[in-house]
Chain A
Amino acid sequence: MAVKQYIEAIRDALDEEMGADPRVLVMGEDVQEGGVFRATEGLLEKYGPGRVIDTPLAESSIVGVAIGAAFNGMRPVAEIQFADFIHPAMNQIISEAARIRYRSNGAFCCPIVVRAPFGGGIHGALHHSQSVEAFFFHVPGLKIVVPSTPADAKGLLRAAIRDDDPVLYFEHKRAYRLLKDEVPEGDYTVPIGRAQVRREGDDVTVFTYGFMMHEALNAAQRLSKEDGIEACVVDLRSLSPLDRDAVLEGARRTGKVLIVHEDNLTGGVGAEVAAIIAEHAFESLDGPIMRLAAPDVPAFPYAAPLEDFCLPNAEKIGDAIRRLAAY
């Protein structure tokens, strides 16, 4: 196994899938140059401008063209430069990509991947730090994955490209070069719809995804040392479909549940996780289900102290786990 950056794992997945399947192409703003984060660097040289396609600054057309290509037998990977800019493509994603299987009674499918860097903690301010998963989480017909490790980044992107349905692939831009970890060799995928227990513990169960998984792990390790509290950390990885079995099993394990995400609190993924647990694991609960999320403000502010105030981190997660463990 080789140690790779999170972004290298993404690039490798694109490269290998393009190498293995001529139907796979990438398209987006400046992808020929490698994109703003260099995720597609080197692909133009290898696969040419026919499969590495620069697009105008028009997200609706990026996704719309990808959908059209998919209907014609291609497997496009559309890049939205920042998830914050995905909203113009909303109609294409929801009305077309997500609905076509239903609308055609299964005759058509839409095998596109929409990659979008999301998340805060990088002083990106209003237009470069949003989390947008909750908008799409509500929509049947879409799959949503949020890898938190380099190995998952590669395995989930491969699975997304090979999937016959539209997959939103949210990659955390803070993770790009910060996270370096071992990535398995060879042709592997990480199945969509399967959560992963990252740490065992019997006091509190933390459900999270994306970069918050690392904050939760840090908090859990600290609490284990300082307070003797053992938190189980479950990485949801796949938001749609959500791994309900893993959610219920994790909740039943400790009876105390904390859900963490950096998306806004209200109507977030955490609300659904909480509802599933309240509905199906009520008898196992030993305390109220708690959520730790960003406050309901449009985006993280630019100023460092204000961003710190809004963004959940290991310290805040640790406090919440401690309170819940004591309940």
Chain B
Amino acid sequence: MPMIGESVTEGTVLRWLKAEGDRVARDEPLVEVETEKVDVEIPSPWAGVLQRIVARVGDTVPVGEPLAYIEVKVVVGAQHAAPLQPAGARPVETTQVGTPPAQPERPASGEGPAGRYSPAVLALAREHGLDLSQVKGTGIEGRITRKDVLAFVAARGAVAAAPPAAPPAPAVAPRPAAGEVMRLTPTRRTIAERMSRSARTVPHAWLAVEADVTRLARWRQQIKDDFRQREGADLTFLAFAVNAVVRALKEHPILNSSWSDDGIVLKREINVGVAVATGEGLIVPVIHGTDRLSIAALAKKLSDLGERARARKLTIQDVQGGTFTIDNTGAFGSIMSVPIINYPQAAILTLEAVVPRPVVVDDAPDGQAIAIRHMVNLCLSFDHRILDGAQAGAFMASVKVKMEAFGPDTPLH
């Protein structure tokens, strides 16, 4: 159990992403662990074979205690056997050499150099965004040398260089067609990885409802300047939508869950993540304990998170632990979206643009009439493994009712 946060002393195994006997790559997600603070995926610290799982799902394990055993393979470079000499057989003049590095100091059966690279190799791998597990080592004991990396890069061709600290590329991408190659920022790379994984593993189903928010729109128009002056934040439709969604989640907790092979994990907390567009790409800061915040507090929190996201001043805690995601696509003027789920959450909801539209209303004195109303679409993508259309529809109906009920009688605090 690795140290996940400064004050985290233990973690509970949510699910294993690998089974005993599975091969794991270095940094490949191994197990999902829940802590008091966040749920995290623990990446494998080594490449090898998952030999034995010690901590079963549901077990709470103190930091530093074993979760599983991974067998690490020792790579012995057969191709450069010539310079390798058996211990004790080296020529006597090497005593003049300060430290004869060529001499294998570890016993052949012990740990090999796999996973240990020279500074030059690490620097080159960073520079070229390489996954070193793909590079064949020709040095002593299979070490990857600087020249091995250079040869690998030359063979691979001119693929976009990755910035420092970027996670290893998931696979060698096909060579880009002629044109300008944009460097992948770490954020872009993370988005790509997460979106691909979600689209790949989660069967997405989609539905949308429209809500008549005329009451809310008129009321908000009246009070928003005053609110801004008093509270120092914009009273946005989004704040109301988050409030409506949170209350609907309490009625339909299945939407506030995540999938695991051992069962559907219903989350105790409601932590709504809100997608924020930044220059770097999409970031989803999380409002922890969303259900404990008033609409006014939500408005302020949203403004704060948005600002800090754009200023790149979010902390790790700010972006971890989300249980449900809302995307304010209406901000771009969109009226319909098919969002990709923020894996491993169960669903994602978009708040589309609030637009005046002619609609049929039932409450006219003489029956039905066409009126100009403020309409908003709410779109939902959900993990069809976890729930079905009926549950999703019931949830959306609840959100719709709540959105339409907002008005002068709604408490802001």
Contact = CB atoms under 8 A, between A and B. Distances in A.
Nearest to B138: A326
A286 B121 contact: yes
A283 B123 contact: yes
A323 B119 contact: no
User: In this complex, which of B120, B139, B147 has the most chain A Cβ atoms within 10 angstroms of its Cβ?
Assistant: B120
Interface in B81-112: 82-84, 91, 93-102
Interface in B72-87: 80, 82-84
B101 A323 contact: yes
A55 interface: no
Contacts of B114: none
A285 interface: yes
Interface string B112-152: 00000011111100000000000000011001011100000
Given A283-B120, A284-B119, A292 B140 contact: no
A203 B83 CA distance: 15
A290 B146 contact: no
Contacts of B93: 309, 316, 319
A93 B199 CA distance: 78
A295 B96 contact: yes
A320 B98 CA distance: 11
20 contacts: A202-B147, A254-B146, A255-B120, A256-B146, A282-B119, A283-B119, A284-B119, A285-B118, A286-B120, A287-B101, A293-B96, A309-B93, A316-B93, A319-B93, A320-B94, A323-B100, A323-B101, A326-B83, A326-B102, A327-B102
Nearest to A311: B96
A290 B118 contact: no
Contacts, number: 74
Going nearest first, the 10 A-B pairs with the smallest beta carbon separation are: A326-B83, A323-B102, A255-B120, A286-B146, A286-B120, A288-B101, A291-B98, A286-B118, A255-B146, A283-B119
User: In this complex, which of B94, B95, B102, B145 has the most chain A Cβ atoms within 10 angstroms of its Cβ?
Assistant: B102
Nearest to B143: A327
A294 interface: yes
Contacts of B147: 202-203
A265 B100 CA distance: 14
Given A265-B96, A295-B96, A284 B101 contact: no
A312 interface: yes
A283 B123 CA distance: 7
Contact of B99 (A255, A288, A326): A288
A322 interface: yes
What secondary structure prevails in chain A residues at the interface with B?
mixed
Contacts of A319: 91, 93-94
Contacts of A324: 101-102
Contacts of A291: 97-98
Contacts of B83: 322-323, 326
Contacts of A316: 93, 96
Nearest to A295: B96
A217 B139 CA distance: 24
Interface size class of chain B, counting residues whose CB lies under 8 Å from the partner chain: 20 to 34
B119 A326 contact: no
B145 A327 contact: yes
A326 B80 contact: yes
Contact of B98 (A255, A284, A290, A327): A290
Contacts of B140: 326-327
A286 B145 contact: yes
Contacts of A288: 99, 101
A316 B168 CA distance: 41
Given A283-B119, A286-B120, A319-B91, A326 B139 contact: yes
Interface size class of chain A, counting residues whose CB lies under 8 Å from the partner chain: 20 to 34
B121 A265 contact: no
Given A327-B140, A327-B145, A287 B97 contact: no
Contacts of B96: 265, 292-295, 312, 316
A265 B93 CA distance: 13
User: In this complex, which of A202, A284, A286, A292 has the most chain B Cβ atoms within 10 angstroms of its Cβ?
Assistant: A286
Contact of A292 (B84, B97, B102): B97
A155 to B, nearest CB: 32
Contacts of A282: 119
A283 B99 CA distance: 20
Contacts of A287: 101, 118, 145
Contacts of B143: 327
Given A265-B98, A323-B102, 5 more contacts: A286-B145, A288-B101, A294-B96, A326-B139, A327-B143
A321 B405 CA distance: 81
Nearest to A251: B120
Contacts of B94: 319-320
Nearest to B83: A326
A288 B94 CA distance: 15
Interface string B178-201: 000000000000000000000000
B139 A327 contact: yes
Interface in B139-175: 139-140, 143, 145-147
A282 B80 CA distance: 26
B123 A327 contact: no
Contacts of B97: 290-292, 320
Contacts of A286: 118-121, 145-146
Interface in A258-300: 265, 282-288, 290-295
A292 B99 CA distance: 10
A323 B139 CA distance: 10
A326 B104 CA distance: 12
Interface string A225-269: 000000000000000000000000000001110000000010000
A271 to B, nearest CB: 9
Nearest to A323: B102
Given A293-B96, A309-B93, A255 B101 contact: no
A295 B93 CA distance: 10
Interface in B292-347: none
Contacts of B99: 288, 290
Nearest to A312: B96
Contacts of B82: 326
A285 B95 CA distance: 23
Contacts of A202: 147
